[in-house]
Amino acid sequence: MPPNTALLTDPSPPLRSDSAVVQTPAFSPLYQQIKGLILQSLQAGEWKPGELIPSEMELAARFKVSQGTVRKAIDELAAENLVTRRQGKGTFVTTHNEEQVQYRFLQLHPDVGQQQDEGRAQRNIMECRRMRASADIARILGLRTGDSVIHVRRVLSFGGTPTILEDIWLPSQVFKGLTAQQMAHYPGPTYAMFEMEYGVRMVRAEEKIRAVLPDTQQAQWLKTTATTPLLSVERVTYTYNDKPMELRRGLYLTDSHHYRNALS
């Protein structure tokens, strides 16, 4: 039996009599069960970012379900940007190396011109060191207070203008060997580097946004004044199974940029 083949529960509701309604536990729809099995394979690294996954017909045979059930499961995975369909080629594991995904977690847009992605920014890494996680950082990353984390502080500049000041915390156990030079010179987005170098696929993020004033040091790093309002963005990024893998706290200068989010 293939590794992810499971006995799937018939999702049909129980029969009702005229005299009573039978109370039974809710069952997960069949396509949701298939989606869960495909996610298990993605998490286990059976198919790497950018790789082609088996066809709907092959997956249907593997899980002993209809091709339509598999298609519905893949539809949901595609809607969540976990896989990407390519006409005439098949379905691929989404990677942060793809242009449309590079923009996914950076919603800062220039007021004039095209969106700039973090992979093309000039990166000034001011700090990259191991430290003990505070209670606050540990709680957010699902660690214990005092566990080892990597702290990165950097300024991202677009067109030579400092625009984003970021503090990033990562679990040291996962990102062993990460250096300032690697962070500064990787030829692409940082999330693509996490995929390629550390096997960590960031699949979703949650953000908190508020307006703040910078302190004197922050204003110097962004080459602005202490009276200039900034956008404070705290982002927690998750890999599969909602496991928190990164905390970012950024200050965004919005003199020539704006934060844009599409709601649906």
Domain ranges of the chain: 1-94, 99-259
Which region among 6-20, 60-74, 133-147, 157-171 has the lowest average model confidence (pLDDT)?
6-20
Predicted confidence band of residue 13 (pLDDT cuts 50, 70, 90): very low
Q: Residue 21's pLDDT is what?
A: 38
| 3-class SS of residue 185 | helix
Same fold, 1-94 and 99-259: no
| 3-class SS of residue 128 | strand
Tokens representing residue 216 in the block: 């004197």
CATH code, 1-94: 1.10.10.10
Torsion of CA 30, 33, 37, 42, to 10 degrees: 110
Q: What is the pLDDT of residues 137-168, one digit of tens each?
A: 999 999 999 999 999 999 999 888 899 999 99
Predicted confidence band of residue 240 (pLDDT cuts 50, 70, 90): confident
Q: Which residues, other chains included, contact 201 with Cβ-Cβ below 8 Å and sequence gap of 6+?
A: 42, 49, 93, 194, 195, 239, 240
Q: Is the pLDDT of residue 104 over 80?
A: no
Q: Residue 199's pLDDT is what?
A: 87
| CATH classification for the domain delimited by 99-259, as one of 3.30.70.260, 3.40.50.300, 3.40.1410.10, 3.30.9.10 | 3.40.1410.10
**b/e string for 163-201 if b means 16 or more Cβ within 10 A?**
bbbbbbbbbbebbeebebeebeebebbbbbbbbbeeebb
Q: Is the pLDDT of residue 115 over 90?
A: no
The pTM for the full model equals 0.72
Predicted confidence band of residue 102 (pLDDT cuts 50, 70, 90): very low
Q: Which residues pair with 239 in a beta bridge?
A: 243
